[in-house]
Amino acid sequence: MSKENFDEIIHRSLEIRKKYHELELLHHGSEWTVEEDALAYLTDAGLVGRNIMSQQQRWPKAGSETELEHKLAENIWWLIVLAEGSGIDIKEAVDKFLTKMDVALK
Distances (CA, A) of 15 to 8, 31, 60, 80: 10, 14, 36, 11
pLDDT category at 2 given cuts 50, 70, 90 is low
Per-residue confidence (pLDDT) for residue 17, from 0 to 100 = 98
Residue 65 has pLDDT above 90, yes or no: no
Which is nearest to 40 in space by CA: 12, 66, 15, 21? 21
For residue 23, report the phi and psi dihedrals to the nearest 5 degrees: -65, -40
Domain boundaries, the chain: 34-104
Report, as an integer, the average pLDDT of 48-67.
88
Report, as an integer, the average pLDDT of 77-98.
98
Which is nearest to 54 in space by CA: 45, 64, 46, 44? 64
